[in-house]
Amino acid sequence: MKVIYTDQAIDSLEEAIKFLREKQKLPPAKIDSIITQLFDRADSLSENPRSGPYEEYLEHLGEGHRRIVEGHFKIIYKMYSDYIKIVDFFDTRQDPDKMRR
């Protein structure tokens, strides 16, 4: 199954990277490692798309959002018949109600 990334997902990841770089002062090598881990984990969904449970904070949308966790991030995705769409990289250190918006 093919894994695709929405613009929203990439924007969320870029925002998180900016936070890690500017506020957390993580070294570039650590940030690169985190990015690689996130993409590797998301890409692993192509082999086992049902591995993540439904995301309770998005149930109100009725779109079947699921999640997998990697480090401090929830990788939010939706399954379709022939592909998986990654819709968000959500840093779990944020207020979870922010995900609902």
Q: Which of 12, 18, 31 is nearest to 74 (CA)?
A: 12
Residue 22 lies in a domain: yes
pTM score, whole prediction: 0.89
CA distance 54 to 51: 10
Rounded Cα distance, 91 and 26, in Å: 15
The parent domain of residue 45 ranges over 2-93
Residue 101 resides in a domain: no
Number of domains in the chain: 1
Decide if 100 is inside a domain: no
Domain assignment present for residue 33? The answer is yes
CATH number for the domain harbouring residue 83? 3.30.2310.20
Summarize pLDDT for 13-60 with one digit per residue, the tens: 999 999 999 989 999 999 999 999 999 999 999 999 999 999 999 999
Closest of 65, 66, 70 to residue 36, by C-alpha: 70
Residue 46 inside a domain? The answer is yes
Contacts of 65 (CB under 8 A, 6+ apart): 54, 55, 58, 59, 76, 77, 78, 87
Q: Is residue 99 part of a domain?
A: no
Q: How far apart are CA 73 and CA 57, in angstroms?
A: 14
